[in-house]
Amino acid sequence: MGAYRIPDWLTDLLECPECRRSRLVREDDRYTCRHCGSTHPVVNEVPLLMPASAVEDGARLISAHLGDLDLASVERALGSALRFRLADPWLRSEFTNILDRYESVFAGHSASPGEAERRRPFEPVAEYFNPRFEPGRETFRSFRIRNNTPHVLASEGEKPFNVSYKITGPNGFETEGVRSRFPIPLKPGGELTVPVRIKAPDREGDYRISVLIVQEFVGWYEESPIFVGELRVESGVEATPHLIRPPHKGYFDFEEDLRQCGLVIERAVDMVRERRPDAGVIRVAELACGHDPQIMRHYQPGTQVVGFDLCWAQVQFASLIFQKKWPAHDDRYAFVSGDVFNAPFKAKSFDVIVISAALHHFSNTVEALKLMKDMLAPGGRIVLLREPGAVAPDDPTYIRELTNGFNEQQFVLPEYETMFQRTGLRPIYEQLDFECSYKTILVTTD
């Protein structure tokens, strides 16, 4: 019985994040690129596959800065500082945030002065505006906004900022919309996705909508619109033929929601197998998998699975959990840490790509879906699990996560429809559990 070691088949899928050639080989505690010579560390049988420019070695930087201190000792000091933390949450960062304290050592780049002034005060960053609305119905559309002003945009105080809109009808008649709050204050230079409540006109027809920031008692920022586009009011647009809404009643049941995730993964793997009965092994990846990947929790026989996440420590925890749970010499799984925007995999490597409760954390979900599509083998399936399928702007968990610095976003189902269309994807199965937990299986349309 030997210890778990990254299976050899992973090497066939990998591409060097530095030179993008498939020349990575495993050597002891690292992967080395036979083409460009770059090396990538492996810890707990999880490689960190990022280009050198994307990673700073804090131990090396501190060692150099403090007069060539012994590197191993500096590494020990940093590890111990992460291991222990202060019980008092207000003092924690003083104790732990050691790398950031030496930030001046790692002098970064700053935007040239004047760049901010040339920009618009409020910059639209992303939207998934589905122009179709039911007559008279109130719903949401989300807009991601960058604040280029030197002011905090907050929906409280004497002259609060809000997001609203103006709708112009076929006859040129203009109406003002309801106000929507910034869920949390938006700092200068920051970005935030704001769910904007929109009430469609009562009469069917084609309208124009301008989404605008309004400062109460000051005025509308007409010169810096967040979105301008068409709004189409017609009856019957909300019907989604594929959508299954299981008859769950009452409060959100986490265990049942997880069980449903397993059924959707099984369905996607079965679809690939039905399409290609002679496919042999089916390769499954989960992006942003964290320490408890769905593809491991709901492992499907006959698959090889790769868990992938930006957080190296978390995928190491995942690897350690399964090294303990599953038999040694297990060659069904591998974990990799890296950046999905420079993912260290060959194009079209996976038959099924899963993402669970993470797509909505990307600042631009269409960009993220396009990356997933590039990784997908012909005839493959993309599976979204546990993505928010409803908007609740006052939900305390949503506000708390935003306050803690997570990029929380919520979307209504017509916005997903727009995301998929823009990516060249089409849902072939959709499910909404507890009226909020969206799950879907997607195929490419081109």
- Rule CB under 5 A: which residues touch Zn ion? 16, 18-19, 33, 35-36
Closest separation in Å from C-beta 41 to Zn ion: 15
Closest separation in Å from C-beta 341 to Zn ion: 17
Closest separation in Å from C-beta 375 to Zn ion: 19
Q: Which is nearer to Zn ion, 32 or 363 (CB)?
A: 32
Q: Which is nearer to Zn ion, 22 or 364 (CB)?
A: 22
Question: What does the alpha-carbon distance between residue 287 and residue 383 come to, in Å, rounded to a whole number?
Answer: 11
Q: Which is nearer to Zn ion, 25 or 72 (CB)?
A: 25
Question: What does the alpha-carbon distance between residue 208 and residue 115 come to, in Å, rounded to a whole number?
Answer: 32
Q: Extract the tokens encoding 160.
A: 């609060």
Q: Which is nearer to Zn ion, 19 or 71 (CB)?
A: 19
**Residue 120 CB partners (closer than 8 Å, separation 6+):** 148, 224
Q: Which is nearer to Zn ion, 16 or 62 (CB)?
A: 16
Token pair 């959990």 is at which residue? 321
Amino acid at 31: Y
**Gyration radius of the chain's alpha carbons:** 24
Closest separation in Å from C-beta 186 to Zn ion: 40
Closest separation in Å from C-beta 38 to Zn ion: 5
Nearest to 22 by CA among 30, 63, 106, 13: 13
Q: Exposure of 424 by Cβ count < 10 A (0-12 exposed, 13-18 middle, 19+ buried)?
A: middle
Q: Which is nearer to Zn ion, 52 or 244 (CB)?
A: 52
Q: Is-contact 317 291, C-beta < 8 A? A: yes
Amino acid at 85: R
Residue 47 pairs in a beta bridge with 42
Helix/strand/coil for 191: strand
Question: What does the alpha-carbon distance between residue 365 and residue 127 come to, in Å, rounded to a whole number?
Answer: 9
Token pair 């995999």 is at which residue? 345
Closest separation in Å from C-beta 34 to Zn ion: 8
Q: Is-contact 276 379, C-beta < 8 A? A: yes
Which helix (H) or strand (E) is 111 found in, with range?
none
Q: Which is nearer to Zn ion, 52 or 228 (CB)?
A: 52
Closest separation in Å from C-beta 18 to Zn ion: 4
